[in-house]
Structure 1
Amino acid sequence: MAQSVKVNYILNLINTGTQMFFPLLTFPYVCRVIEADGIGQVNFFNSIVSYITIFSCLGIPMYAIREIARVRNDAVIMNRTAIEILLLHLMLTFAGYFIVGFLCLTVPQIQVNISLFLVLSLTILFTTIGCEWFYQGIEDFKYITIRGFVVKTISLILLFLFVKDKTDLIYYGCYMVFGVLGGNIFNFLRLRKYIHLENNLFSNLNIKRHVKPVLKVFSFTIVTSIYLQLNTVLLGFFKDSLAVGYFTAATKVMQMLLGMTSSLGAVMMPRTSNLIAEDNDNDFRILIQKSYDFSLALAIPLTVGLFCCAPVIISVLCGENFNNSILPMQIISPIILMVAVSNVLGLQVLYPKGKINIVTLCCGIGAVFDLLLNIILIPFFSYIGTSVAYLVAEISTTVSMLYLGKKYIPLIYIKKTHVVYLLGSLFMAFAILFIGNIHIESTIILLLQGFCGFFVYFFFLLLFKDDIIFHFLLRIKEKMRLGL
C-alpha cells in the first residue's frame, strides 16, 4: 500500500536534500581544482549526452510513472506493463549508442576528449536499467531515499580521493555519472522483488501499445529540454568552455533549490494519476490546492533568498574567480517560482488528466523564446544573454499554461495567504541584505543569512497564523503528547 503524501514528500525531500547537500560539499572543491574551463567542458559534453538520453528515453520515464501508478493494484498487469516498457527502453538505448559513436567520429569538439565523452555517455545505460519510474509509480520513496544517500556518500569519498587537479577531468566525469545514477544498478537488481516473470508469458507482451502515448510525452520532453540543455550547448558552440563554466556556476545553486519544489511534484504525479483513475475528483481538488499553496510558500522565499544571497553564494562556493556568475544567478533566480507553479499546473494536473498536448504546446512556446533569444543574445552578451533567454522561456511557459489550461485546473490562484508569503519574503530580504553588509568572513555571512532568513520568514508566517505553519506545529504537538 502506498504511504501518505506527507510521508512520501518528506522522504523525497530528504533525498533531494542529500542531492543539495553533497554538491554544496563538492562544487566548491571542484571549482577550485577543475576551474571554470574544466567545468565548462564537462557540462558541455554532459548537455550533449543529455540530448541523446532524451531521445533514447523517448518520454518513457514520465509516461511510465503514470502507467505504473494506474495499475499498481493489479500485480499481473503491473508486471506486464513494467516489462513491456523496460524492453522498449532497452531497444531505444541501443539506438542511442549508435548516435554516441557517430558523434565521436564526426564532431571535432568531442574528439578533443573522447574518453570523457564516453564516460559521461554511461548516463544513457544507467538511466535505462534504473527504472526509477517504476519505484516512483509504486511510491517506494523510502528505498529511493536510502539508496540515494548511500551511493552519494561513496561517490563523494571517491571524488576527493581521485580528483586532484585539472588533468583529472575523466575522474570528475565518473563522479558525475556514478554520483547521480550509480544507484540505478541496485534499482535493476531490486526489480526481482516486484516483477515476477511467471506472471508474464512473453507471448502476451505488447510493446507496440506503448509507442504512440510515449511519443506524445516525448514531444513534451524534447521541447522542455531545449531550454534545459540547449542553453549550455549553444553557449559552448558560440562561445567557449569558460562561458559555459560561468553559466554552470550560476545555475548550480538554483538547480539545487529547484529540487526542493520539484520534490513535491515527484510525489504528487503518481498520487494524482491514481485519484483520477479512480474518479475521485473531490480529493484531487483538495490535494492540488494544498500542493499549489505549499509550492508558493516554499518557492517565493527561495527565489528572493537566492537573488539577495547571490554574491556571497558565489564567493563561498566558487571563489573570486567566478564573480562573473553573480549577475546570471540573480537573473535566473525567479525561475524557481516559475517552475514551482508550472510543475503544479503541468505535471500534477494537466498531465495526469491526459492533457499532455496543452503542456507540450506551452513548453514549445517557452522553447521558441529560448532558442530565438539565445541566438540573438549569446553573440553579444555571452552567458548573460543565455541567462535572460532561460528566464524568459520559463516565464512564457508558465504564463501560457495558466491561460491555455485554466478550464482544466481547479485552483484558486491568488489567496490572502499568498500575499503573506510575499510580504514575509520581503522582510526576509531586508534581514539578508543587512547581514550581507557586515564585514566578516563570507562563509559566516552565508550561514547567518540562511538561518536569519529562515527564522524571519517562519515567524512572519506564524504571526499571520498561516495554515501550513499551524498545521505543522499542531502535528508536532500531537506527536509529543502521544510520546509522553
Structure 2
Amino acid sequence: MKSKNVIKNFLYNSLYQLLIIITPIITTPYISRVIGAEGIGTYTSTLGVAQLFSIIGMIGIMNYGSRSIAYVRDNNNKLTKTFWNIWLIQLIFSSISLLIYFLIFVGYSPLGFREIFIIQSPIVIGAIFDISWLYVGLEDFKKTVSRNILVKIVGILCIFIFVKSYDDLYKYIAINSISTFLGILTLWMFIRQYIRKIDFSSFKISEHLKGAFLLLVPQLAVHFYTGLDRTIIGGLSNLTEVGFYDQSQKISRIALSLVTSLSTVLMPRIANMFANNDTEKIDDYLYKSLNFTVLISSLLMAGIAGVTNDFVPVFFGTEFNIISPYMIITSLIVVFIPIGGVFANQYALPTGKNKEYIMPLVLAAIINILINFTLVPKLGALGGVIAIVLTELITMCIRIILIIRYINVRKILSDIYIYIIVGIASSSLTILLGKLFSPSILAILIESIFCIVIYSILIYIFSKFLENI
C-alpha cells in the first residue's frame, strides 16, 4: 500500500509540475516574439529580486515545514500545534521582508523599474500565505495539483488576450505575479480538513526558529545561482543577454521539474521512516529512485540536445538562433541536478543532516558568482551558461562525497553510468539526423521519436549485455 501511495503521489506531483510547465510551453513561443529578448530579460531580472524577498520571508520554512509536518502528521494535536507555530514565524518574517522590499526597490528604484517592482510585489506577498509545505508533509499532493488548474488556464488566456506588443510588458508581468498569488491563496480552502483552530496558548515559535533559519541558508544559496543569476548577468552585460540566457535554460528547467517530482514525493516518506526508526528500507528507496531518475533524465537530456538546432527557430523565433549551442550545453543540468537531488533532498534533508544538505549549496553559490564575474563580461549569456553547468556538476559531486559515510553510495550509483552513456550517444546520433532537415515541427517530431527509439534500443542492448557478464 505504501508503494502504491508513493506512485500515486509521484503521479499527482508530476501532474502538478505539468500544470506549471504548461504555461511556458504554450506562451513562450508567443511571448518570445511579442516582447523579445529585452522584455524577457527585464521580466526575469526583476522577478529574481521579488523571489529573493519571498525566500527570505519564508526563512527556510518550505523545506523545514514539510519535514516537521511529516514527523508529526500521525498525531492531530501535534500537527495542529506545529502548523500554527511554523506559520506564525512565516507571517512575521514575510511581513518584514515585504516591508523591506517596498522600502528599497519600490522606494529607490529608477522610474520604469519602480513600477515593475510594484507589479512583481504579489510574489513577495504570496510568501505570507504559502502553506504548500503543509500538504507536502502530509503527502497530500492532490491538493497542490487541484489548486492551480483554473488559475493557470485563466493566466494563459489573459496573456493571449492582453499582451500584444512590447508595450504590454507590464500586463505580462502582472498576469504572472497575480496568478501565482491566487494559486497560493487557494491552498487555504482545504486547511480545515487537517488543522483545527488556532490555540494562542500553544505558541512556542522559538523551537522552530533555528531549524527554519538553517534551511533558509541553502534556499538563499540556490536562488543566488538560479534566480539572481539573471540579475547579475544583466548588471554585467545587458538585458538582451539576460533574455538569451533565460531562454537557453527554459526547456531544461521544464524537464527538470518533471524529474525532480520524485524527490518531492519521497522526502516526507523518508522523513517519516526516519522519525519512526524504520531505516532499513532507505537504501533500497534511494537505489530505485536514483535509477529511475537517471533513466528519465538521461533520455530528456538526449532529447533536448538532439532537437535543439531545429527546435530553437521554431519555438523561440529566429531572434533566438544564437542560443542553440547554449541549450545543448545547458541540457547537461537535467542529469546533474537530479543525481545530486537524490542524495540531498531524499536523504540529507529528511534525515536532518543539515550540514551535508547546506554546505554544497553555499559552495555552489560562491562558485557560480565567481565564474559569472569572470566569464559574463567577456562572453555574455554563454558565460552564464558555462557557469550554471559547472556549478551544478560541482554541487552534484560534493553532495555525493558528503553522504558516502552514511549510506552505500557505491551500490546506489552502480548502474547509472549506462543511462548517461546511452543518453550522450542518443543525442549525438539525433543531432546528426537533424542535419538532414530544415527547421519545422515535423523535423522536431521525427527527431524526438528517433531519439526515444535509439535510447530504448541501446538501453535494452546494454542491459542484456550486462546480464550475460
Q: TM-score, normalised by structure 1?
A: 0.91
Distance 1:423 1:372, change over 3 A: closer
Identical amino acids, percent of aligned pairs = 23
Matched residue, 1:256: 254
Q: What letter is aligned with 2:79?
A: M
Once residues 64 and 369 of structure 1 are traced to their aligned partners in structure 2, the CA distance between those partners, rounded to angstroms, is: 29
Query: Residue 57 of structure 2 contacts residue 127 of structure 2 at CA under 8 Å; is this kept in 1?
Result: no
8 A Cα contact 1:32 1:319, kept in partner: yes
CA distance in 2, matches of 1:137, 1:423: 36
SS in 1 for 2:392: helix
Write the letter of the residue equivalent to 2:295. A
CA offset at residue 395 of structure 1? 1.3
Q: Which residue of 1 aligns with 2:160?
A: 160
Q: Measure, in 2, the Cα distance between the counterparts of 1:213 and 1:173.
A: 34
* Residue 225 of structure 1: aligned partner: 223
CA, structure 1 residues 369+282, in 2 after alignment: closer, same or farther (shift >3 Å)? Answer: same
- Alpha-carbon distance, 1:231 to partner: 1.4
Equivalent residue letter for 2:75: D
Q: Deviations over 1:366-404 (max 9, x none)?
A: 111111111111111111111111111111111111112
> Residues 150-229 of structure 1 correspond to what in structure 2 (within 5 A)?
150-197=150-197, 200-229=198-227
- What residue is the counterpart of 1:378 in the other structure? 376
Match of 2:467 in 1: none
Return the letter of the residue paired with 1:95: I
| Paired AA for residue 394 in structure 2 | S
Q: How many residues align?
A: 462
The residue number in structure 1 matching 2:77 is 76
Which residue of structure 2 lines up, in the alignment, with residue 103 of structure 1?
104
In structure 2, the partner of 1:144 is: 144
Q: Tell me the C-alpha RMSD between the 2 structures.
A: 2.0
Q: 1:22 to 1:450 in 2, by over 3 A?
A: farther
Contact 2:66–2:134 (Cα < 8 Å) also in 1: yes
**Contact persistence 2:143–2:187 (CA under 8 A):** no
Change (3 A) 1:328 1:106: farther
C-alpha displacement of 1:61: 0.6
Offset at 1:462? 4.3
Question: Could you tell me how far apart the structure 1 residues matched to 2:125 and 2:208 are?
Answer: 20
CA 1:313–1:107 in 2, change beyond 3 Å: closer, same or farther? farther
What amino acid maps onto 2:146 in structure 1? I
Structure 1: runs of 5+ lacking an equivalent: 467-484
Please report how far the alpha carbon of residue 106 of structure 1 lies from its aligned counterpart in structure 2 after TM superposition.
5.3
Instruction: Indicate if the aligned counterparts of 2:306 and 2:447 stay in contact, CA closer than 8 A.
Output: no
1:418 is displaced (CA, Å) by 2.6
Change (3 A) 1:179 1:453: farther
Contact 1:366 1:392 in 2 (8 A): no
Alpha-carbon contact 1:28-1:317 (below 8 Å) kept: yes
Say whether 1:404 aligns with 2:409: no
Mapped to 2, the partners of 1:401 and 1:336 lie a distance apart of 16
Partner of residue 362 from structure 1, selected from 360, 363, 384: 360
- Contact preservation (8 Å) 1:303, 1:337: yes
Tell me the equivalent position of 2:119.
119
Whichever residue aligns with residue 141 of structure 2, its letter is F
CA offset digits 1:264-315 (Å, max 9, x no partner): 1110111110111111111222111111111111112222322222222221
Question: In the alignment, residue 367 of structure 2 is paired with which amino acid?
Answer: F
Instruction: Find 2:310's aligned residue among 312, 317, 324.
Output: 312
The Cα shift of 1:318 comes to 0.8
Within the candidate set 450, 453, 464, 2:451 is matched to 453
Take 2:172 and 2:406, find their aligned partners in 1: how far apart are those partners?
A: 45
In 2, Cα distance between equivalents of 1:141 and 1:410 = 30
The equivalent residue for 1:479 is none
- CA change 1:272–1:95 in 2 (3 A) is same
Kept in 1, the 8 Å contact 2:313–2:321? The answer is yes
Long gaps (5+) in structure 2:
465-469
| Conservation of the 8 A alpha-carbon contact between 2:233 and 2:242 | yes
Q: Output the CA distance in 2 between the equivalents of 1:456 and 1:54.
A: 42
Q: Aligned residue for 1:57? A: 58
Q: Tell me the residue number matched to 1:478.
A: none
Per mean C-alpha deviation after superposition, the further-off stretch among 135-144 and 122-131 is: 122-131
Structure 2-normalised TM-score? 0.93
